[in-house]
Every structure is written in C-alpha cells, then in structure tokens.
Chains A and B, each alone.
Chain A
Amino acid sequence: MSTHEGKNLPRPTPETQAYWDAAKDHRLLIQQCSDCDTHQFYPRPHCTQCGGMNMDWVEANGSATLVSYSVINRPVSKAYADDDSAILALVRLVEGPQMMTNIVDCGLADLAIGDALTVVFEDWTDEISMPKFKRTR
C-alpha cells in the first residue's frame, strides 16, 4: 500500500463529520430531505431544493456514472506523484448528486463518459478513508 503522507487530508466540520465517520467504515453517506425526498451532496443542514431543515443521512447505493474525467499528468505535489489514481473525475450517483473523485484500477484508454462505476474506499489514516470509484465489471 502506498503512503498517503503529505496529501491534502480533509478536515471534517460539524456538518460533515457523519460523512467521514461512515467513510471510515467504507460506507458512502449522503443526505436525503425528509420533506421533499431530494438527495444532496455535499452535506449541509438545509435542503437546497425546498429549503427545509430536515435532512436525514442515508447510505448511497454506491453505483454511479462517469460525468467527465481528466488526467493529472503533473501532480500537484510530491505526495501525489506515485499515485495510481491520477485520473480526476466527476461522477453522478444513482441517487442524483454529483461528486469529485479519482477513478482507480483503470487506465485512461479504458474510460468513456457514461461508464458505470462502483465506489471503493482507500484508507489514508486511522480517521480518513477516501471514497474512490472503479469501473463496474
């Protein structure tokens, strides 16, 4: 396993702690509004669809489609230089929300917009595991 020292570690906030706690257990949590049923990411206490304040945490199915991708040919810092996940991507979860991630276990030539993806988790520290995505076989 490659070291993750020096990477830009996320620092959870009160609004996002539950998301990162679940990621540690390899579960992808998103929010769902109990007033209008809309799913939402990233976490915030209000619903951006209806303005309600009744957001529930729900576990995402983990399936997504590839919205776009590019390659980080010049890494942002040394910590990312040996990364096998230099593919930057936007993905859309089947529940609706869009998120940024890396695509792993896959070369550039294998990818196409619209590909079906599945979430996987990469353990960086005792506290932080990063959700990433791989192509669905």
Chain B
Amino acid sequence: MHPLRGVAAIVGTCDTEVGIVPDKGPTELCSQAIRGALDDAGLTLADVDGLITCNSMADPYMYHAEMMAEYLQIFPGYTLSLGAGGGATFAALHHAASAIATGMADTVVVAMAECLRTGLTRDQAMAMQSSSGHPQFERPYGPTVPAFYGLVARAYMDAYGATSEHFAAVAVSARDHACRHPFAQMREPITIEDVLASRMIADPLHLLDCSLVSDGGCAVVLTSAERARDLRQSPVYLLGAGEGHSHEHISATHNLVTSAAADSGRRAYEMAGVGPGDIDVAGIYDCFTPVVLIELEDLGFCGKGEAGDFVTQGGLALDGALPTNTHGGLLSHSHTGNPGSMFALTECVAQLRHSAGDRQVADAQTALVHAQGGILSSHCTVILGRENT
C-alpha cells in the first residue's frame, strides 16, 4: 500500500463568488475562501498549521503564502507558495497530503485566488500574454496562449481526423452543466453551431473553444483521516495523486497529442489501486476544448483518437459514461488563471458528499480531478473517495 493513500482527507471547501468581482482583490478573495473553508469544516484559523498558496498576477507578493498568513494573522509551522501554472492546484493537494503523512502539519489549507477579469492593468494583461513562451526561441514570434494551444489542436486534428465539431461538443457539454450551477459565469445554453460561428481566436480555436477570464477564489482544508472522522462534514479521502512533467516550452515537447497526463494518471491510479472504470465523476482541465479530448485519452477513459466521439455521444453529461466538470469547468463556470481548477475540486468534493443538488451524479463514490499548467507542461491527477479502505 502506498504510504500516502487514504492518509489525508478534505474536510472543508469554499468557493467565493466568481466571474466579474470588481469590489474585491485577490488577497481578500483568498482570505474569504480560507475562512469559508474553515467554517465549512467546523474549524478556525487557530487550527491551521500548514498553508499552501499560489501567487496572484493581479496582486503579486514575493512570498505569497507568508503574505496570506500575515493577512490572516496566523502563524503556521509549514507554508509553501507553488508555481506550476494551472497544475499548481492539485500539486498543492499532493504536497498537503505529504505534509500531513509525514507530520509536518496536521491541518493544511490550500487556497488560491486571482482577479484576471478586473484586477489586471492593461500593462499587466499585456505582460502576462507576452511573457508566455521562451524569451529567445518562442516569444519573438509573437505567440499568444491560444495560438500555442492552436498548435496542439491542429496536430490532434491531423493525427486522428478530429473536427471542430468534436471540439465544440466539449464546450456545449460544459455549458449544459453550467446552466445548472447558480453561480457559474455563463449560464445561457449554447449549441455546436454557436461554437463554430464564434469568432476565430487562434485558428482552429474559436472563441467558445477558449476558457473564460474570471475573478474568484477557492480553498480546501485537509487533515488526517483520523481527525477527519470527528469533524462536521463527511470526509473525502485522497486515495491517489500523481504528477507528470514533460517540458516547459511547447516547442520542446516530444509529443503534441499525448501529454504527461498519461504519467500523472498512471501514478495516481497505482497509488489509489483503482482504474479509469472505477471513476464515477471527473474534473478535467478544460482551458481549451481539445485539451479535454487529449486528457480523456491519456487518463485512460478512451483510446487515442476516440475522445471526440465519446464527448459527442454525451459521455461527459450527468447521465453519461463519465460525468465531467459538472460545475461548468473553465469553459463556462470560471477561469481565474492558476486557481481555476480548484473549482473542479470543490465540485467533486460536493459530488462525493452527495450535496451537489441538481447536478448530483447518483451514488458517486470515486472522483478523479486532473489539472495541467503551462502548455500541456505540468500535470497532476488526484483520485478522491468517500471511503479510505
């Protein structure tokens, strides 16, 4: 048995308001999420002895976790500020569970917030765009983040005969879910035709193939499985976690259509002792629609090249083979930048607590969340369960 399996549990969660939140900055949203998650757990700031955060672009600090501890006036024995882009979220869970397992901390909060929508100055927004890419061997060519993913999209289409309709089906599925979420940023239903008719951002990616730009914050509280059983919420155990790191710059990738999600997924399944067929509900990183197809395949839910048909046939729906991103995902719930996939995590925790209301997947026992950062660069997969046996 892996020494980390089932040792830690998520006992509290909190999403702040998301979308356009002009009256709060990232530091306050992060604080709000932390306090909310502790309330949810029935714990207080005094119980926190570990804190993991990720820096904010709109309100950056040199040592972000120290800043959040200072803001909240807590004095933990363990802090970590992570930087792995969108993959930092679940890597943080991996670290939190390790800290609990090794006795570095008893109760760890993982919290992230960002104001991408209203918090960035024009210069910051520009700097963010043009700072992606290798400074000598990519950035001079004028790439944008959507154009980087356009390279992935085109290669995937060429390799497997995937179509724009396949990509669009991912966006439609996300929107269907978001329509059931009271706080999702986009709640008007869309069709495949709407996606194909939306303007081109980076051919072959249309506007509706791209995730949102949002403000918001999110936090979860983890503690030992032993302590979790005495707390207010039914614990959601961390059964498996695995990472995969293949490159920083997309021009240095060895494979545009198979990602290191294959590595992170394999490691997470091995630790949890489960396989893709055991997963009842999933959160799959959906910064751009083709990424979902590649990840579904690399995580073993479909054969290579088959995910487009899987999604088109309703595979991601609430009653589908793999209900996915039931909150609406980065495409329709919110995309706050690095913290973005935290909301997929809190949604999966709600699913496993059987408290997801209209979006509840019947009798969900086991969930998988996957996030990636950079341009398919850093991957982390986490498997969660209602039981730790």
Contact = CB atoms under 8 A, between A and B. Distances in A.
Contacts of B146: 70, 74
Contacts of B149: 70
Interface in B99-150: 126, 129-130, 133-144, 146-150
Interface residues of A, number: 35
A7 interface: yes
B59 interface: no
Interface string B182-203: 0000000000000000011111
A86 interface: yes
Contacts of A90: 151, 250-251, 256
Contacts of A99: 137, 251
Contacts of A130: 140-141
B200 A71 contact: yes
A108 B143 CA distance: 16
A76 B203 contact: no
Contact of A11 (B135, B141, B143, B158): B135
Interface residues of B, number: 38
B140 A42 contact: no
Given A70-B205, A90-B151, A42 B256 contact: no
B36 interface: no
A11 B144 contact: no
Interface string A28-59: 00000000000000100000000000000000
Interface of B: 126, 129-130, 133-144, 146-155, 158, 199-205, 249-252, 256
Interface of A: 7-13, 16, 42, 67-77, 80, 83, 85-86, 88-90, 98-102, 108, 113, 130
26 contacts: A7-B140, A8-B139, A68-B151, A68-B154, A68-B155, A70-B146, A70-B202, A70-B204, A72-B144, A74-B144, A74-B201, A76-B126, A76-B142, A76-B144, A77-B130, A85-B142, A88-B141, A88-B150, A89-B151, A90-B251, A90-B256, A100-B133, A100-B137, A100-B249, A130-B140, A130-B141
Given A67-B256, A73-B202, 17 more contacts: A13-B136, A42-B134, A70-B204, A71-B147, A71-B202, A72-B147, A74-B201, A77-B129, A85-B141, A88-B143, A88-B147, A98-B252, A100-B134, A100-B141, A100-B249, A108-B203, A113-B154
